[in-house]
Amino acid sequence: LASLEVSPKPTVLRWNSGATGGGEVLIAAGPCGVESLEQTLTAARYVKKHGAQMLRGGAFKPRTSPYSFQGMGQEGLEILAEARRQTGLPIVTEVVSPEQVDLVATYADVLQIGARNAQNFALLQAAGRSGRAVMLKRGMSMTLEEFLMSAEYVLAQGNMQLILVERGIRTFEKSTRFTLDVSAVPVLKSWTHLPVWIDPSHAAGKRDWVTSLALAGLAAGADGLIVETHPEPEKAQSDAAQQLTESQFADMMRKVRALLPAL
Ligand code: PEP
Ligand code: MN
């Protein structure tokens, strides 16, 4: 179902604030995790001001360690809904288990399935049945063929509103958190009609490198970006090293617009 041979026309997903696919590019930005109403509203207002069309923020965080901050849960979803009410930005937020899909889908515009759950087939199917758009991250050790097979689990439920995200893969290189596979963009776009995005934040792992990876992804033809930014990144409860400051985010957006004047 993902194949260009089945559907040769690009899939375009639209919200009031913008669209992705078929030549339209959308920027989703916000904190890694929702930590408070104030933090989320502050980020939502400035990402909108600098030109983002969607707000990201995790209420359920899939942490490597069970002792790390796991997110605010339903309270975090309420905060995201308030940020949407105040800014008009649609919300993308992660869902980590099939049982939580209904809850998250009552708040989210886009259900995010993370790299660690990219082959959680029950979760993919539940997200496919939710009626919401789905944003699927590539697993950190997944081939692109495996990635598209995961996408099929969503599509096979009758849900064609699906965004694929390259967020970096495991290689022998240790200087970055993951290695951004920029090739994923042209390769996936030669196989599928679905929008393909880049997440430069989780690939870089370090805020100073995020803008370069974002621009590389867009230059390669990505249909969107999902980028982490936090009003006080050094105080963040997750992914502190990679979240852009507001001024770095504004600078990235200026460079993005220089590359894509239509945005
Ligand atoms: C995230 O977006 O905060 C996240 C956990 O991403 P990934 O699943 O790509 O690691
Ligand atoms: Mn993160």
Q: What is the mean pLDDT of each run of 10 residues along the chain (263 residues)?
A: 97 98 98 98 98 98 95 98 98 98 98 98 98 98 98 98 98 98 98 98 98 98 98 98 98 98 90
User: pTM here?
Assistant: 0.98
188 token code pair: 């996936």
Please list all protein residues whose beta carbon sits less than 5 angstroms from ligand 2, which is an ion. 32, 239
Ligand whose nearest atom lies closest to the CA of 203: 1
pLDDT at 217: 98
The predicted complex's ipTM stands at 0.99
Question: Using CB atoms within 10 A of its CB, is residue 6 exposed (0-12), middle (13-18) or buried (19+)?
Answer: exposed
Measuring CA to CA, which residue among 33, 32, 260 is closest to residue 167?
Answer: 32
- Judge if the beta carbon of residue 202 lies within 6 A of ligand 1: yes
DSSP 8-state assignment for residue 119: T
For 13-60+68-258, CATH number? 3.20.20.70
List the domain boundaries for the chain.
13-60+68-258
Residues sharing a CB contact under 8 Å with residue 14, sequence separation 6 or more, in sequence order: none
Question: Ligand 1: distance of its center to the CA of 202 in Å?
Answer: 7
183 token code pair: 């090739």
pLDDT at 190: 98
- Judge if the beta carbon of residue 33 lies within 6 A of ligand 1: no
User: DSSP letters along 11-42, please?
Assistant: P-EEETTEEEBTTB-EEEEE-SB---HHHHHH
Which atom of ligand 1 lies closest to the CA of 226? 2
